[in-house]
Amino acid sequence: MAYHFETRCIYGDRSNVTEHPYRSIPTPIFLASAFGHERIGDFSSYSYSRVSNPTRSDLEEILSSLEGAADTVATSSGMAAVSIVLDLFSIGDHFVCSEDLYGGSFRLFDNIGRPHGLNFSFVNTADPAATEAAIRPETRALYIETPSNPTMQVTDLRAMREIADRHRLLLIVDNTFLTPYFQTPFDLGADIIVHSGTKYLSGHNDVLAGFVCTKSPELAERVRFIYKTTGYTLSPFDSYLCLRGLKTLPVRLERQQENALAIAKWLREQPCVKQVYYTGLEDHPGHDIHCRQARGFGGMISFHVDSEETARKTLLNVQLITFAESLGGIESLITYPMLQTHEDVPKAQREKLGINDTFLRISTGIENAEDLIADLDQAMNS
């Protein structure tokens, strides 16, 4: 029987489910580093938690069901997930990446990937021609965020797949902002999906986690080998927290999206707000493409205010919304990307993208939208 998405968030597809001890309803937390064997030479079940763990396996199976993956590994952070992906490649390999990329990914690529012999070009992947022009003989992959973090650029994933096919490249997609509830990149041609599970998938600002989802069994086998060898694994307790968070993913995202649209429309009416970036607004330049490849717009908004003074006043005066990094939790957060999430991006690149001292980002939570708007109003306009 094929279950709907909301059901699979709780149970997965039940293709590999065993009854939990004592008929426990939630997956138990198996805090075992090692497991005993019944027979010599038969190590097909659990043996050592760095390799596999029952709590983590349940989580990985549910993510595979939601993304339509051949396999998924759950990692100790989103950056650990990206690191595993980099380990698939060799010295001299080249990536073409979205220019508006999460600052932590840029830091990893520029400060660890490059010294280890990998090369990266950052281009506006919303422009397929510019993307293809950046490809070299040694290019091996396209690395895409859509919508991008934090300026919400939209990349046409079907166009990226066509480019990848012409040049025999892997298509890697960071699906953190939308999750498989709103966007399933494998259906659009991706080979690998990465997530910061810290964000929407867990959803409660209480755990660090990441995921690497693979489309083909061959890629899955390579990722599993790297995973068990390097030890980027998610702990049993954190796996339990992610499992708990996933159960309410659709409910949370619907409310967060509803709040985001209301706030984005309100921001557009404020004299001190000069530009709003939200893919749910019909005049967003990527709105039509986004609607063709996604089922929703998510809960992330970025915007420019009229001055640095207004930006700083807003950040320091919010009372309900929290001035903090991260995103995707049930609590609304406001961030100053220039000094927080994108501090390590070179200044010239930040300013080219508009990530400057008047640029703010909001992750909407599940609070009442009127309360959030009232908080922004008193912080920004009083």
User: Domain limits of the chain?
Assistant: 5-246, 250-381
Is residue 233 within 8 Å of 49, Cβ to Cβ?
yes
DSSP letter, residue 176: T
- Per-residue pLDDT for 181 more than 80? yes
Tell me the fold of 250-381. Answer: Aspartate Aminotransferase, domain 1 (3.90.1150)
Catalytic residue among 58, 100, 174, 191: 174
50 is catalytic: yes
Identity at 80, one-letter amino acid code: A
- List the strands of the sheet with 210-214, edge to edge: 71-75, 210-214, 192-196, 170-174, 139-145, 94-98, 119-123
Structure tokens at 241: 């927290």
- Return contacts of 284-293, CB within 8 angstroms, 24+ apart: 284/152, 284/154, 285/126, 285/154, 286/126, 286/147, 286/152, 286/153, 286/154, 286/155, 287/154, 289/154, 289/155, 289/156, 290/146, 290/147, 290/154, 292/156, 293/146, 293/156, 293/157, 293/158, 293/183, 293/188
**pLDDT band at residue 234 using 50, 70 and 90 as cut-offs:** very high
283 is catalytic: no
199 is catalytic: yes
Q: What are the start-end ranges of the H helices in the chain?
A: 5-11, 54-67, 78-86, 103-108, 128-133, 157-167, 179-182, 217-230, 236-246, 249-268, 287-293, 308-317, 347-353, 369-381
pLDDT value at residue 347? 86
352 is catalytic: no
Half-sphere exposure of 29 (CA within 13 A, CB side): 12
Catalytic residue among 8, 56, 140, 199: 199
Catalytic residue among 102, 240, 278, 336: 102
119-128, 233-242, 335-344, range with the lowest pLDDT: 335-344
Over residues 41-98, the pLDDT tens digits come to 776 678 889 999 999 999 999 999 999 999 999 999 999 999 999 999 999 999 999 9
The model scores a pTM over 0.85: yes
Catalytic residue among 46, 50, 107, 247: 50
In the block, residue with structure tokens 């939570």: 365
Pick the CATH number of 5-246 from 3.40.50.1820, 1.10.10.60, 1.10.3720.10, 3.40.640.10: 3.40.640.10
- List the strands of the sheet with 359-363, edge to edge: 273-277, 300-305, 359-363, 333-335, 322-323
| Mean pLDDT of the residues in the chain | 95
